A and B are shown apart, each in its own frame.
Chain A
Amino acid sequence: MWPTAQPRARTAAAPRRGARHGVRGTGSPMPSGEDGWWLIVADVRLDGVYKIYPDGTSAVNDLNLEIADGEFLVLVGPSGCGKTTALRMIAGLEEISKGTVAIGDRTVNRVPARDRDVAMVFQSYALYPHLTVEDNIGFGLQLRKMPKAQIAERVAKAAATLGLTDHLKRKPRNLSGGQRQRVAMGRAIVREPQAFLMDEPLSNLDAKLRVQMRAEISRLQRDLGVTTVYVTHDQVEAMTLGDRVAVMKKGVLQQVAPPQELYERPGNLFVAGFIGSPAMNLVQGRLEADGDGALLSLGDQRLAVPAALLAERPGLRGMLGRDVAVGVRPEDMDDADLPGEAPEGTVLESETELVEALGSELLVHFAIGAPPVVTEDTRELARDAGADEIGAAGGRSPMIAKFSPRSQTGEGRPVRVRVDTARLYFFDPETGAGIWGEPGAEQRREGSHG
């Protein structure tokens, strides 16, 4: 749909972990991690995968992903974007309408879930309520007819890794949420599978525990080095956990890239608005040539676009004299009245509407006289955020800036906002594509960042 989300373009697999566990699905075991787990790791490849339901609705459209050995890939997107469906197709719980899924060197389209040698952690944990923790963790091994002594040994080791040793004889209903989550993890790691699949495993935990378990999952995956596909709608989880993050929207892959790149060089409006919190401010503007640089008009205000930025993003030259969608991250703005330079062409003037003090920073809400960007992407973002119809405020766009706590601004007072113009983002207002390289060319390759 969007030229930016060119799904055919394969992404280069992140080599970081792949190099450490350089077994490309050959099936030969190798030691990994300090705990001495013997793991057979494998890459996971999705090739032109579709999920189309009998009633014609499609949940996943032409998904191409290559997840390297030992890589941690996060699938992220608003609810209903097809990320869970994609995961379930890898797991074998959902039939693949078209395309192929391969784990290691085996195409698994016709392989039932039980024979795919992948383990899944469910959002609900899906612990067997009638079994003790010990039996829950060892269930998969029992089904594989592993000798009892060996099961006990593996379960004990997994329990020790997860701090569950004291709870082995208890039933799931007597455990706390965090402990249940650990049991679910234990059930996955004890199998020593080729890949972990995790479906929003932290979404049932309270905020504090979630942060703790997030770190634990990260550590565990690093130690075990198992290829992991992790589904979440929480972009903080996505950014902190993933070696690479794949952003999906309505069944279509938008961009796959390492977290920082996703943040720095979003391929389109949707990715730009989805990654980052508070979200990137997106307004309509117009670029005009001005010497080596350019002038950006936002309503009746002007920002100077530095020449260096134009040199760095040749695609911008093609947009001179045209309307563009402009993105400004809240963290790239500050109070211009604070000490420091605020040269001409970097300041927006407005009136503070609301200040949210977070201690370490102030979130300052204001509006500028430029219309908001209204495209399919931004509508989808607004829907995900549960916001009102965009453009409801007429020709004005609400903005949020992160100010230093030293700022003296207050509600109802005029405010001068300094914008880091070197960190402006530009998008084609028609296609939503990020403007980075040569005009046209880069926009068709956006999917390949990473």
Chain B
Amino acid sequence: MSDDAATTEAPPAAGGGPEPGAEGAPRRTVAARLTGALGSGLAQLLLVLIALFWLVPTLGLFVSSLRTPADNASSGWWTALLEPAQLTLENYARLLDNAVFTGSFLNTILITVPSTLLIVVIAALAAYAFAWLEFPGRDWLFLGVVALLVVPLQVALVPIAQLYGGLGIYGSIAGVVLFHVGFGLPFAIFLLRNFFAAIPRDLLEAARMDGGKEFTIFRRVILPLGGPAIASLTIFQFLWVWNDLLVALVFADAANQPMTKALQAEMRQFGANIDIISSGAFISMLVPLVVFFAFQRYFVQGVMAGAVK
């Protein structure tokens, strides 16, 4: 079939087109292909270089975490690349024996998991209401939520610390979680609402005709379809809370401090406990990395879908 088409089409093209056109076409494509290949090759090379460059601090941290404090104090981490004999797991062994560190690791989990779950659950419900339920003042309320996006959390630190003091939750994990939830919700609601609102109305109406009550529609239609957005929100929120230092510094006391605060405490004015910081920081990076790679497909999809749709 295709051969036939080629032979029948070739003669008119050759006869009809003047010579320069016939010659020009392949030359252009070669040139175009060359620039294209060069362009994409250069771009790729550049991207790889940037990626490697970007990874240098992480690599340095990792290598440092495998060297003794004495080695770290006497020479740069890159020397270990030439003398792998320096490398040791000693720091990690000591870190895992350190009750302050293991306690703070647990605290990080106790803060991050509820903060993430609460935000996702509340935001999904609120986003459904903002997107699909009719109630008076809905649009004004949503406008209020959007307005909250621009409030920097720093301005709330002092008043909320005072408030917590009055409530008796200052320094507790609950206080930290509450703060994260409060300041995470506007963005979470905004993201999910826009995603949910892009789900065709017909689908919800079909579910309504099929006998679905609001919550059933939410659970059986909206949640499955909103999967990518919810996954990306979960990652966003998880990373944000996991890596937070500021909120922890203000609201968590020593018994309830997360890893970030514990590691920060190892910094000294004229030095640092590099063995604890490097290994601890690397462990604290590991968990978000795993989460990210596990969900990265959704992450990319979700960001796109939430933004464009």
Q: Do A and B bind each other?
A: yes
Tell me the residues in window 110-132 of chain A with beta carbons closer than 8 Å to chain B beta carbons. 112-115, 118-120, 122-124, 126-130
Residues of A within 8 A of B221 (CB): 128
A139 touches B207 (CB 8 A): yes
Known A93-B205, A122-B205; contact A139-B224, beta-carbon cutoff 8 A = no
Question: Closest residue to B203 on the A side, CB-wise?
Answer: A126
Known A114-B211, A114-B213, A143-B216; contact A126-B202, beta-carbon cutoff 8 A = yes
A140 contacts the other chain (Cβ, under 8 Å)? yes
A143 touches B203 (CB 8 A): no
Known A128-B221, A129-B225, A130-B224; contact A120-B206, beta-carbon cutoff 8 A = yes
Docked CA distance A118–B211 (Å): 10
A122 touches B224 (CB 8 A): no
Tell me the residues in window 87-145 of chain A with beta carbons closer than 8 Å to chain B beta carbons. 91-93, 112-115, 118-120, 122-124, 126-130, 139-140, 143-144
Known A129-B225, A130-B224, A143-B216; contact A91-B209, beta-carbon cutoff 8 A = yes
Docked CA distance A187–B200 (Å): 18
Residues of A within 8 A of B220 (CB): 139, 143
B4 contacts the other chain (Cβ, under 8 Å)? no
Docked CA distance A366–B205 (Å): 49
A91, A118, A143, A144 pick with most chain B CB within 10 angstroms: A143
How many chain B residues touch A (CB < 8 A): the figure is: 18
Residue-wise interface mask of A (252-296) relative to B, using a CB-CB cutoff of 8 A (1 in contact, 0 not): 000000000000000000000000000000000000000000000
User: A122 contacts which of B206, B212, B225, B227 (Cβ < 8 Å)?
Assistant: B206
Tell me the residues in window 102-156 of chain B with beta carbons closer than 8 Å to chain A beta carbons. none
Q: In the complex, how many angstroms separate the beta carbon of B302 from the nearest chain A beta carbon?
A: 15
A191 contacts the other chain (Cβ, under 8 Å)? yes
B97 contacts the other chain (Cβ, under 8 Å)? no
Docked CA distance A123–B206 (Å): 11
Known A122-B206, A124-B202, A139-B207; contact A114-B225, beta-carbon cutoff 8 A = no
Docked CA distance A257–B27 (Å): 70
How many chain A residues touch B (CB < 8 A): the figure is: 24
Docked CA distance A130–B225 (Å): 7
B210 contacts the other chain (Cβ, under 8 Å)? yes
User: B211 contacts which of A93, A126, A130, A144 (Cβ < 8 Å)?
Assistant: A144
Docked CA distance A342–B210 (Å): 61
User: B212 contacts which of A123, A143, A191 (Cβ < 8 Å)?
Assistant: A143
B210 touches A187 (CB 8 A): yes
Residue-wise interface mask of B (190-232) relative to A, using a CB-CB cutoff of 8 A (1 in contact, 0 not): 0000000000101101111111110010001100110100000
Known A124-B202, A126-B203, A143-B216; contact A119-B209, beta-carbon cutoff 8 A = yes
Residues of B within 8 A of A122 (CB): 202, 205-206
Residues of A within 8 A of B212 (CB): 114, 143
Q: In the complex, how many angstroms separate the beta carbon of B196 from the nearest chain A beta carbon?
A: 14
Q: In the complex, how many angstroms separate the beta carbon of A124 from the nearest chain B beta carbon?
A: 5
A139 touches B210 (CB 8 A): yes
Known A122-B202, A124-B200; contact A93-B224, beta-carbon cutoff 8 A = no
Docked CA distance A124–B207 (Å): 14
Docked CA distance A129–B212 (Å): 17
Docked CA distance A144–B202 (Å): 20
Residue-wise interface mask of A (189-222) relative to B, using a CB-CB cutoff of 8 A (1 in contact, 0 not): 0010000000000000000000000000000000
Residues of A within 8 A of B207 (CB): 128, 139, 143
B206 touches A126 (CB 8 A): yes
Q: In the complex, how many angstroms separate the beta carbon of A365 from the nearest chain B beta carbon?
A: 37
Docked CA distance A139–B224 (Å): 14
Question: Closest residue to A112 on the B side, CB-wise?
Answer: B208
Residues of B within 8 A of A143 (CB): 207, 210-212, 216, 220
Docked CA distance A128–B204 (Å): 9
Docked CA distance A395–B14 (Å): 56
B200 touches A126 (CB 8 A): yes
Docked CA distance A119–B221 (Å): 18
Docked CA distance A126–B200 (Å): 8
- What 8 pairs across the A-B complex have the smallest Cβ distances? A140-B210, A126-B202, A126-B206, A130-B224, A143-B211, A114-B211, A113-B208, A122-B202
**What are 13 of the A-B contact pairs (CB < 8 Å)?**
A91-B205, A93-B208, A114-B213, A120-B205, A120-B209, A122-B205, A126-B200, A130-B224, A140-B209, A140-B211, A143-B210, A187-B210, A191-B210
Given known contacts A114-B213, A122-B206, what 16 new A-B pairs fall within 8 Å (CB)?
A: A91-B209, A92-B208, A92-B209, A112-B208, A114-B209, A114-B210, A114-B212, A118-B209, A124-B200, A126-B203, A126-B205, A126-B206, A127-B206, A128-B206, A139-B210, A143-B220
